[in-house]
Amino acid sequence: MNAELNDIIADFDLIEDWDERYRYLIELGRDLEPLPDSVRTEANKVRGCASQVWIDTRANADGSVTFRGDSDAHIVKGLVRLALAVYSGRTPTEILVTNAGAVFERLGLSQHLTPQRSNGVRAMVERIKADARRLAAEA
């Protein structure tokens, strides 16, 4: 796990109240660097999310992948940030074997997200993994 993800998990562990955890998710989303309009394209839009979600994928020279993302919904933006913390900076092979569901389960999010938001998270993860499969095939 990277330092950002470790910090997020540690912060979640300190917060017991779910209203406070939701506020923390919103705060995480506020800290996301806004995506420029040039990458808020149909090609970068995540299908299967009720909110607008965009994921921008970039392969790095060292073989790792960097993801940037954004959403028009506050809590979803925090979920985007969490997904990016799980996957960004890893190689396509590492991305394909990384289970974001285990992280969401560890944080208790699996039990506290609405079915619609859970479907959106699955759509984000599948999009990230599809991009990793494409990059692995191109390598």
Where residue 80 sits, what CATH number does that domain have? Answer: 3.90.1010.10
Name 11's Cβ contacts closer than 8 Å, sequence gap at least 6. Answer: 24
Domain span including residue 113: 3-138
Report residue 2 as tokens: 């990277």
Confirm if 83 and 125 have CB atoms less than 8 A apart. Answer: yes
pLDDT digits (tens, 9 = 90+) for 29-75: 999 998 999 999 999 999 998 899 999 999 999 999 999 999 999 99
How far is residue 74's CA from residue 62's CA, in Å, rounded to a whole number?
Answer: 33
Its sign, for the CA torsion 32, 36, 40, 41, is negative
70 among known catalytic residues? no
Quote the pTM value: 0.94
The active-site residue out of 49, 65, 79, 113 is: 49
Query: How many domains does the chain divide into?
Result: 1
